[in-house]
């Protein structure tokens, strides 16, 4: 196989492909190094956060190598539902690509196979199960013998690991690629891999010799905010109305039932919301996913079943109405916002019941004690993040082993929360639980406990004679919300444990140190974050990506009118081609067209996101649309 590229990295060639095919001016972060390495036949393991730009890391080498006569790149991806759109996006950019999966008719599949076997195809997307298909392997063998098997790209590489959260047994078979086609370089990519998963990927995919490229996991354009629950649905609605009117977003809930209820309720409030969970009929699920991808401003209310590979670039917010399992899940789920690099929100409402529920789910799971202990540790880290009074991003990144400075783009940085010394209150609360236990061994839940602390006479108080307890009304000075915050912290920290169906409260051994006053508790003062409003969002992420912000928010009235016209035009084209709108042009690109108002094809060609093929296909029409508005 001719391999001149390894000696002479064709750097200008690669930049030229970026500009000509994709219409982008410059590489981002590690892209250039990765693309050079892989184009020159090196193996690579790429760890890059969602939205970091992984696709180009294999697409540009695929194009460069194809142009150099090295044939077809095989892209292994588990996401059958998305292959159609991925391939559509490449064809729109003038790159000959296709996919092979179970959704094709025999006729369609043979056509793709002919294109592949002739070497005309630049990229072939295939699901991992196809790799073990003997017929397919025979085809790869033939390509290989003729020097037309160029590169393997293994997307979502964490699926090979049992430690990861999306293990797919078919991925294990991918080790055969290296054994069977030792001369063909491989690039494996993932957005989620802790140390264990990373080691697993290297071992199972036989990537011991590969260069490992690890990007920072920071997502500077995502603003993190965690609010205390107080009528969470209304809080969510206010958040959407104030800051994300007409934006696409995802709302995560824990249960199917809650997904349905929340979606119904949002719809009744005039929000375009759709439910998505594994209990829905597959066709309906697909339909909702399509609408989310193809329409502009759908709010998807979903369980975690919705997500992997949703590469819609303009998801403006991800909201959590329930606590995720751990920080990895939180980061992955929130990472689906703002892939286009524009401002996006990760918003979560969290409360006492979340802490209790998550703890209970771990306790009641059939897993072994060691595993449970691990889960508890992970949950604690997430709770610490939720209760934090300092920069959320610093905590998140440090969890992934990265050091950073306060970000200026999270709720705690923007609106530093007041703190108060809750040590005394915590002691009162713990001793009240202690009194309950003394007093007949009876156990109670949070509601009753707080009533007793605040001296609220209820039937239950009378029934149990709790007015005579020494802790009766010792906490009348604090409002209920504050007591809940104290209890939440104590449960988070493991000093109080909840038990049974009624979630009654029990002291843990560690409570003794708090009772003795040996542990100081600094708590955040419950606040409702001030309204920000869409228009007041001017603060830029501290370490944000450079370049002009194409955010449609800062268009003047005339540009806004052009933007709207362009969107309407794009919607028609997208519909005609059966593709999501962002595949034709992303919002940032349309916004830039509206802002610059180019008068010639040449001026239009300089706008980021306008490649040669799209200029040829759509240039004249865009100028016409711009001329009319």
Which residues lie near ligand ADP (CB under 6 A)?
24, 27-28, 31, 48, 50-56, 311, 313, 339-340, 586
Residue with smaller CB distance to ligand ADP, 39 or 358: 39
Nearer to Zn ion, 322 or 411 (CB): 411
413 binds Zn ion (CB under 5 A): yes
Q: Please, what is the minimum distance in Å from the beta carbon of residue 430 to Zn ion? A: 32
| Closest approach of ligand ADP to the CB of residue 2, in Å | 28
Q: Which is nearer to ligand ADP, 53 or 61 (CB)?
A: 53
From the list Zn ion, ligand ADP, none, pick the one residue 254 interacts with, judged by a Cβ distance below 5 to 8 Å according to partner type.
none
Q: How far is the CB of 413 from Zn ion (least distance, A)?
A: 3
Does 396 participate in binding Zn ion (rule CB under 5 A)?
Answer: no
Residue 398 vs residues 385, 441, 493: alpha-carbon distances, Å: 11, 43, 20
Nearest to residue 76, comparing CAs of 136, 132, 152? Answer: 152
Query: In sequence order, what DSSP letters do the residues of 67-103 get, joined into one string?
Result: HTT--EEEEE-S-HHHHHHHHHHHHHTT--EEEESTT
> Which of the listed partners (Zn ion, ligand ADP, none) does 48 bind, with a CB threshold of 5 to 8 Å by partner kind?
ligand ADP
Residue 532 structure tokens:
């920000």
CA proximity to 395, closest of 349, 304, 331: 331
Closer by beta carbon to Zn ion, 71 or else 335: 335
Look at residue 391 and give the partner it binds from Zn ion, ligand ADP, none, a contact being a CB closer than 5 to 8 Å depending on partner kind.
Zn ion
With CB under 5 to 8 Å by kind, the binding choice for 184 among Zn ion, ligand ADP, none is none
Selection from ligand ADP, Zn ion, none that 407 binds (CB < 5 to 8 A by kind) is Zn ion
Residue 205 Cβ vs ligand ADP, minimum distance, rounded to whole Å: 18
Q: Which is nearer to ligand ADP, 275 or 341 (CB)?
A: 341
Count CA within 13 A, CB hemisphere, residue 452. Answer: 28
* 366 phi-psi bin (left φ>0, alpha ψ -120 to 50, beta other): alpha
Rank residues 344 and 583 by Cβ distance to Zn ion and give the closer one: 344
Nearer to ligand ADP, 313 or 417 (CB): 313
Q: 430, 579, 442, 602: which is closest to 517 by C-alpha?
A: 430
Q: What six digits make up the tokens of 145?
A: 């013998």
Q: Candidates 12-20, 393-401, 466-474, 610-618 — which segment interacts with Zn ion by CB under 5 A?
A: 393-401
Query: Which residue is it, tokens 């920069």?
Result: 391
Q: Give the count of residues interacting with Zn ion (CB under 5 A).
A: 5
Q: Which does 410 bind (CB under 5 to 8 A by kind): ligand ADP, Zn ion, none?
A: Zn ion
Three-state secondary structure readout of 240-289: HHHHCCCCEEEEECCCHHHHHHHHHHHHHCCCCEEEECCCCCHHHHHHHH
Cβ-based nearer residue to ligand ADP, 51 or 552: 51
Q: CA-to-CA distance for 440 and 308, rounded, in angstroms?
A: 52
Q: What is d(CA 416, CA 527) in angstroms, rounded to the nearest whole number?
A: 10
| Whether the Cβ atoms of residue 348 and residue 355 lie closer than 8 Å to each other | no
Q: Which residues pair with 149 in a beta bridge?
A: 72
Residue 358: contacted member of ligand ADP, Zn ion, none (CB under 5 to 8 Å, by partner type)? none
Q: Which of 510, 437, 435, 509 is nearest to 475 (CA)?
A: 435
| 308 part of the interface to Zn ion, by CB under 5 A | no
**Closest residue by Cα to residue 495 from 464, 518, 467:** 518
Q: Min. distance of Cβ 21 from ligand ADP in angstroms?
A: 11
Residue 396 or 433 having the CB closest to Zn ion: 396
Neighbours of 360 (CB within 10 A): 15
| Shortest separation between residue 52's beta carbon and ligand ADP, angstroms | 4
Shortest reach from residue 219's CB to Zn ion, in Å: 12
Q: What is the nearest approach in angstroms of Zn ion to the Cβ of residue 387?
A: 15
- Under rule CB under 5 A, residue 410 binds Zn ion: yes
Is there binding between residue 397 and Zn ion (CB under 5 A)? no
Residue 347 phi, psi dihedral angles, 5° rounding: -125, 135
With respect to Zn ion, which residue has the nearer C-beta, 140 or 226? 226
| 395 in contact with Zn ion (CB under 5 A) | no
The residue whose two tokens read 């928010």 is 553
Neighbouring CB atoms inside 10 A of 531's CB total: 10
- 385 touching Zn ion, by CB under 5 A: no
Is the torsion defined by CA of 282, 168, 30, 49 positive or negative? positive
- Residue number with CB closer to ligand ADP (24 or 144): 24
Residue 313 partner contact from ligand ADP, Zn ion, none using kind-dependent CB cut-offs of 5 to 8 Å: ligand ADP
Q: Min. distance of Cβ 221 from Zn ion in angstroms? A: 13
Note whether 8 and 26 are within 8 A (CB).
no
Q: Which does 393 bind (CB under 5 to 8 A by kind): Zn ion, ligand ADP, none?
A: Zn ion
Nearest Cα to 243, choosing from 544, 534, 2?
Answer: 534
* Interaction partner, residue 431 (ligand ADP, Zn ion, none; CB < 5-8 Å by kind): none
Sign of the four-CA dihedral 363, 366, 368, 372? negative
What are the CA-CA distances from residue 459 to residues 249, 443, 454, 462, 464 (Å)?
45, 16, 15, 5, 9
The 3-state DSSP class for residue 581 equals: helix
419-421 and 522-524 strand pairing: antiparallel
Q: Return the range that interacts with Zn ion (CB under 5 A); candidates 125-133, 390-398, 473-481, 572-580.
A: 390-398
Sequence-distant (6+) residues with CB within 8 A of 203 are none
Question: Which stretch, 142-150, 174-182, 409-417, 494-502, contacts Zn ion (CB under 5 A)?
Answer: 409-417
Phi-psi region of 218 (alpha: psi -120 to 50; beta: other; left: phi over 0): beta
| Positive or negative: CA dihedral 520, 521, 522, 525 | negative
Binder of residue 160, out of ligand ADP, Zn ion, none (CB less than 5 to 8 A by kind): none
Looking at beta carbons only, is 423 or 596 nearer to ligand ADP?
596
Q: How far is the CB of 31 from ligand ADP (least distance, A)?
A: 6
Q: Which residue lies nearer to ligand ADP by CB, 247 or 311?
A: 311
Question: Which 67-86 positions form the footprint of Zn ion (CB under 5 A)?
Answer: none
What is the Cα–Cα distance from 547 to 588, expressed in whole angstroms? 12
From the list Zn ion, ligand ADP, none, pick the one residue 388 interacts with, judged by a Cβ distance below 5 to 8 Å according to partner type: none
Stretch that binds Zn ion, among 185-193, 357-365, 404-412, 532-540 (CB under 5 A): 404-412
Taking the least distance from each CB to ligand ADP, the nearer of 32 and 322 is: 32
Distance between the two ends of the chain, CA-based, in angstroms?
54
180-188, 385-393, 504-512, 548-556 -> range binding Zn ion (CB under 5 A): 385-393
Q: By CB under 5 A, is residue 393 in contact with Zn ion?
A: yes
**Does 407 help bind Zn ion (rule: CB under 5 A)?**
yes
Residue ranges in contact with Zn ion by CB under 5 A? 391, 393, 407, 410, 413
């Amino acid at each position: 196989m001719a391999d001149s590229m390894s000696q002479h990295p064709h750097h200008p060639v690669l930049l030229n492909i970026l500009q000509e095919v994709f219409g982008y001016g410059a590489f981002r972060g590690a892209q250039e190094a990765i693309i050079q390495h892989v184009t020159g036949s090196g193996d690579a393991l790429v760890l890059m956060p969602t939205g970091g730009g992984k696709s180009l890391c294999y697409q540009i080498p695929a194009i460069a190598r194809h142009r150099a006569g090295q044939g077809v790149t095989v892209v292994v991806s588990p996401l059958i539902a998305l292959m159609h759109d991925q391939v559509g996006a490449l064809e729109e950019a003038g790159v000959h690509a296709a996919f092979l999966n179970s959704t094709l008719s025999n006729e369609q599949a043979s056509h793709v196979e002919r294109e592949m076997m002739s070497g005309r195809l630049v990229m072939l997307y295939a699901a991992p199960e196809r790799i073990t298909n003997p017929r397919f392997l025979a085809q790869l063998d033939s390509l290989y013998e003729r020097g037309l098997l160029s590169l393997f790209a293994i997307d979502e590489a964490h699926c090979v690991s049992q430690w990861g959260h999306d293990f797919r047994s078919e991925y294990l078979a991918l080790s055969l690629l290296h054994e069977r086609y030792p001369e063909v370089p491989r690039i494996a990519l993932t957005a989620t891999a802790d140390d264990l998963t990373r080691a697993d990927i290297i071992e199972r995919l036989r990537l011991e010799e590969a260069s490992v490229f690890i990007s920072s996991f920071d997502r500077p354009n995502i603003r993190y905010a965690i609010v205390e629950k107080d009528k969470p649905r209304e809080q969510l609605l206010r958040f959407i109305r104030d800051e994300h009117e007409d934006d696409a977003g995802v709302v995560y809930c824990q249960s199917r039932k809650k997904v349905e209820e929340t979606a119904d309720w949002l719809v009744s409030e005039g929000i375009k919301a759709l439910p998505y969970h594994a209990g829905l009929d597959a066709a309906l699920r697909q339909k909702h996913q399509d609408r989310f991808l193809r329409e502009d401003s759908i709010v998807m209310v979903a369980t975690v079943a919705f997500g992997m590979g949703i590469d819609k670039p303009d998801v403006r917010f991800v909201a959590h109405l329930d606590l995720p399992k751990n920080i990895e899940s939180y980061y992955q789920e929130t990472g689906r916002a703002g892939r286009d690099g524009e401002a996006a929100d990760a918003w979560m409402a969290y409360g006492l019941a979340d802490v209790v529920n998550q703890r209970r789910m771990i306790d009641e799971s059939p897993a072994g004690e060691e595993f449970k202990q691990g889960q508890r540790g992970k949950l604690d880290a997430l709770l610490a993040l939720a209760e934090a009074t300092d920069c959320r991003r610093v905590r998140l990144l440090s969890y992934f082993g990265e050091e950073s400075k306060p970000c200026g783009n999270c709720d705690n940085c923007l609106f530093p929360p007041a703190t108060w010394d809750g040590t005394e209150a915590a002691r009162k609360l713990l001793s009240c639980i202690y009194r309950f236990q003394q007093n007949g061994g009876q156990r109670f839940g949070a509601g009753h406990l707080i009533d007793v602390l605040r001296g609220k006479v209820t039937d239950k108080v009378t029934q149990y004679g709790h007015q005579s307890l020494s802790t009766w009304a010792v906490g009348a000075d604090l409002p209920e919300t504050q007591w809940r915050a104290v209890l939440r912290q104590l449960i988070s920290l493991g000093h109080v444990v909840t038990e049974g169906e009624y979630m009654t409260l029990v002291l843990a051994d560690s409570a003794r140190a708090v009772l003795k006053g040996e542990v100081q508790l600094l708590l955040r003062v419950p606040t409702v974050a001030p309204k920000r409003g869409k228009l007041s969002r001017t603060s830029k992420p501290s370490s944000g990506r450079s370049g002009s912000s194409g955010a449609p928010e800062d268009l003047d009235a005339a540009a806004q009118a052009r933007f709207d016209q362009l969107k309407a035009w794009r919607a028609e084209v997208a519909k005609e081609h059966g593709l999501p709108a962002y595949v034709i042009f992303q919002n940032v690109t349309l916004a830039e067209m509206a802002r610059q108002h180019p008068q010639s094809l040449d001026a239009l060609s300089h706008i980021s996101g306008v490649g040669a093929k799209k200029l040829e296909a759509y240039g004249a029409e865009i100028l016409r649309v711009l001329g009319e508005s």
